[in-house]
Amino acid sequence: MAETCLYRTLGCKQNQFDTQSLRLYLERQGFAETQSLTEADWCVINTCSVTERALAKVRGEINRIRRSNPNVKIVALGCGARHNRDNFTKADYIDQPPPAFELDEWYNASSHTGIGSNLLPPHGIIPSGRSRALLRIQNGCDQKCAYCIVPHLRGSSRSVGFDACVDALKSLVDQGAVEIVLTGTNIASWGRDLAGDYQFSDLLKVLVQEIGNSRLRLSSLEPQLISPDLIEWCTEQPQICRHFHFAVQSGSQTIVNSMNRGNFPQEIYRYLENLVRNCPDVSVGADIITGFPGETDDDFEKTVELISAIPFSYLHVFPYSERVGTEAANRQNQVPVRKRLGRAQHLRKIDDELRDRFAQLNSGKMQDIVIIGDGHNGKMDGLTSNYLPVNFQDGFVPPDDRFSAKILASQSELCVQ
């Protein structure tokens, strides 16, 4: 009888891809996936190390799993386990797969070892039971932002070859994927390390030609690496989702410079102001860090002003968290934790308002919707092209994995009736 394996993922889309890649590999090795914690022989947890909160979530998950099934063998892999093994002492294997997985070749296939650090195929994956796929086009990052531990864990930016990306997309379309999410550590840097002077836009233009009736979604973009012309082109392509997420981090030029993030991308922000004004159905999201070392009240106010000026459709807010091994962790001008949290709370209130505003703006309109899985209480969930989560009312039967329907605001959520 095949041994069973339960998978848990914390963190980014890249982590989700890495977990699914490992699942496929282990299935070929004879392991069977299970959703039952009490019946699992193994539990693989793909960890995140972006913030202390992410590490705390992993520790809590390991404790919960251990209480529920004392006999399960826990394998902690990924960025968190690689960065700080001491956080995961209750796991049986930490940043090293057990011999039973027979992962030596998979793990050491490049100079960057470990789950999430190589570029081995497959590059396109449809998670089990889903119609929404992930296409990994690159891994690693060269930016070396002062707060970020990820380049130390995933290595320098390495791109999947042009033809391999196109072939992977075609395969996903043939398998029935209705939405394909471009995934990577820093997807806008794709092609810079390849021979042939490739740019990210070169890849997008070919993928759009090959995607057929499916739609393409871009994951997080670095504003310093993206031109207004590229976003303008994307909005003109019906195959590309009307949703753009930017790693803004701060609206203060002083703080952006202190973060080692290069020049303040004023040009793209001015363009986004015009884009949202002229195309209010386009969703524009942002990552924001509060309380980075040296951030003054005036710096924070500049972030609030930028959020208001564009305005964004939603925010992902992170209080600054020291990561051992990063430049910023050793700085003397640390902002008190209480102030970091207070600023984050302020932005999360703004986030609630932005989300409600964007939902109300889209209520009553026809939307391009894909099914993304089962929701709470057995209901199915959907996702619009412009990144609005949609619930299906009782009795509604989606006509297909992707369909058009009018969405309506109902009790603080969007529904299809």
Residues 6+ apart with CB under 8 A from 402: 131, 178, 179, 214, 215, 368, 369, 370, 371
Average pLDDT over residues 258-266: 95
Task: Say how far apart CA 152 and CA 126 lie, in whole Å.
Answer: 28
117 has pLDDT over 80: no
φ and ψ at residue 220, rounded to 5 degrees: -55, 140
> 379 and 311: one domain?
no
Centre a 10 Å sphere on the Cβ of residue 375 and count the other Cβ atoms it contains. Answer: 14
Of 248-257, 268-277, 403-412, the poorest mean pLDDT is in 403-412
pLDDT given for residue 51 in this prediction: 85
pLDDT, one tens digit per residue, over 64-95 is: 999 999 999 999 998 888 888 888 889 999 98
Which residue among 77, 107, 137 closes a domain? 107
Q: What is the pLDDT of residue 334?
A: 98
Give the CA distances from residue 19 to residues 6, 45, 147, 204, 373, in Å, rounded to whole numbers and listed in that order.
11, 8, 25, 25, 18
Judgement on whether residues 335 and 197 belong to the same structural domain of the protein: yes
Which tens digits make up the pLDDT trace of 348-372?
999 999 999 999 999 999 999 999 8
Is 118 contained in some domain? no
Share of the chain above pLDDT 70, in %: 94
**Does 113 map to a domain?**
no
Lowest mean pLDDT among 48-57, 184-193, 380-389, 400-409: 48-57
- Please report the pLDDT score of residue 296 as a whole number: 98
* Domain identity same for 316 and 241: yes
Is residue 195 scored above 80 in pLDDT? yes
Residue 180, domain CATH: 3.80.30.20
Number of domains in the chain: 3
Asked if residue 350 belongs to a domain, the reply is: yes
Amino acid identity at 224? Q
Looking at the predicted structure, is the pLDDT value of residue 416 above 90?
A: no
> Do 9 and 27 lie in a common domain?
yes
**How far is CA 235 from each of CA 306, 334, 335, rounded to the nearest angstrom?**
22, 40, 39
Residue 243 has a pLDDT of: 98
Q: Is the pLDDT score of 107 beyond 50?
A: yes
What's the rounded Cα separation, in Å, for the pair 19 and 43?
Answer: 12
Indicate whether 164 and 31 sit together in one domain.
no
Contact (Cβ atoms closer than 8 angstroms) between residue 125 and residue 24: yes
**pLDDT, position 114:** 58
Q: How many Å apart are CA 310 and CA 226, to the nearest integer?
A: 16
Percent of the chain with pLDDT over 90: 76
Question: Which amino acid appears at position 353 of this protein?
Answer: E
Contact call for residues 351 and 309 (beta carbons, < 8 A): no
Q: Are residues 390 and 356 part of one domain?
A: no
Joined tokens for residue 145: 């932002």
Mean pLDDT of the chain: 92
Q: What is the pLDDT of residues 30-60, one digit of tens each?
A: 999 999 999 999 999 999 888 888 888 888 9
219 and 283 belong to one structural domain: yes
Structural domain range at position 81 = 4-107
Run of H or E residues at 76: strand 73-78
Using DSSP's 3-state secondary structure scheme, residue 89 falls into coil
Q: Is residue 218 part of a domain?
A: yes
Residues 180 and 223 in one domain: yes
At residue 110 the predicted structure's pLDDT band, cuts being 50, 70 and 90, is very low
Looking at the structure, do residues 347 and 316 belong to the same domain, yes or no? yes
Q: For 334, list phi and psi in degrees, rounded to 5.
A: -65, 140
The answer on 393 and 371 residing in a single domain is: yes
- Give the pLDDT mean for 380-389: 92
Q: Is the pLDDT of residue 379 over 70?
A: no
If residue 172 lies in a helix (H) or strand (E), which one and from where to where?
helix 162-174
Residue 394 lies in a domain: yes
Please check whether residues 235 and 352 belong to one and the same domain.
yes
- pLDDT per residue as tens digits for the range 291-308: 999 999 999 999 999 999
pLDDT in tens, 149-186: 999 888 899 999 999 999 999 999 999 999 999 999 99
Q: What is the pLDDT of residue 50?
A: 86
Domain boundary among 79, 107, 135: 107
Of 188-197, 290-299, 320-329, 394-403, the one with minimum mean pLDDT is: 394-403
pLDDT score recorded for residue 116: 61
- Residue written as token pair 């619930």: 391
Q: Is pLDDT larger for residue 139 or for residue 373?
A: 139
Q: What is the largest CA-CA distance in the chain?
A: 63
Q: Which long-range contacts (CB under 8 A, 24 or more apart) does 27-34 make?
A: 29/101, 29/102, 30/2, 30/3, 31/2, 31/3, 31/4, 31/5, 31/101, 32/2, 32/3, 32/4, 32/5, 33/4, 33/5, 33/6, 33/7, 33/128, 34/4, 34/5, 34/6
- Residue 112 pLDDT: 47
